[in-house]
Amino acid sequence: MITVVIWIWIDNVEEVQKKLTEMGYQSSSLISNYKPLMEAADTMQMVLGALGAVAMLVSAISIANTMVMSIYERTKEIGIMKVLGCAVKDVRKLFLFEAALIGLLGGCIGISFGYGASWLINKFGQPIFKALMSSNYMYDLQNTQFSIIPIWLPPVSVGIAIIIGVLSGYFPARRATKIRAIEAMKTEG
């Protein structure tokens, strides 16, 4: 029996195996093990993505609530700004900038927690993954990273957090621009 090792791209494994079988040769690969693992990883990614989307929705509502409360507490300040001649666009920009800063701060805190969780998984997750892969002898679990954060993910996450902050603060900022200066000056605060 002659064993031939052929190096091919992972996308072409099934096609090459099929052609080898058609030619009358026997072939084997680990693609049958790979597919279920990739499907499980895709499912896990979808579940975690859904959890992330729910967290984003909750944070958007929290930012909007914070901005509405900020406007109610600072109604007199808004009135003073308008009486002194501050443009309506500037009042809107002020509150949108504040909402963007809240989003930026939340995004940075989230990224910090993500890196911390990734470090903990890589540092202390080895016994768990060893138990899960006990029948598989080909993995070097001592030197394996279980959690890898791509380099592009933190900047994209911060950008999304800022956008969510600005979108959440848009309607409260618009409400702040509609406050009349005279009525705002009459409020106590």
| Higher-pLDDT residue of 35, 80 | 80
Could you report the per-residue pLDDT of 148-189, keeping only the tens digit for each? 889 999 999 999 999 999 999 999 999 888 888 877 777 765
Read off φ and ψ for residue 8, nearest 5 degrees.
-135, 165
- Is residue 52 within 8 Å of 164, Cβ to Cβ? no
Cα Rg, the chain, nearest whole Å:
28
- Is residue 77 within 8 Å of 95, Cβ to Cβ? no
**C-alpha 130: how far from chain center:** 28
Specify the DSSP class assigned to residue 158. Answer: H
What whole-number distance in Å separates Cα of residue 89 and Cα of residue 87?
Answer: 5
Could you report the per-residue pLDDT of 66-95, keeping only the tens digit for each? 999 999 888 888 888 888 888 889 989 999
Residue 96 burial by Cβ neighbours in a 10 Å radius (0-12, 13-18, 19+): buried
Q: What percent of the chain stands above pLDDT 70? A: 86
pLDDT at 7: 55
How is the chain split into domains, by residue range?
59-186
pLDDT at 26: 80
pLDDT at 40: 83
- For residue 23, pLDDT over 90 is answered with no
Query: 86-90 contacts: CB < 8 A, separation 24 or more?
Result: 88/177
pLDDT at 100: 95
Specify the DSSP class assigned to residue 49. Answer: H
pLDDT at 176: 87
| Higher-pLDDT residue of 143, 107 | 107
Query: Residue 163: which H helix or E strand, with range?
Result: helix 153-177
Average pLDDT score over the chain: 84
- Record the tokens describing residue 23, joined without a space: 């030619």
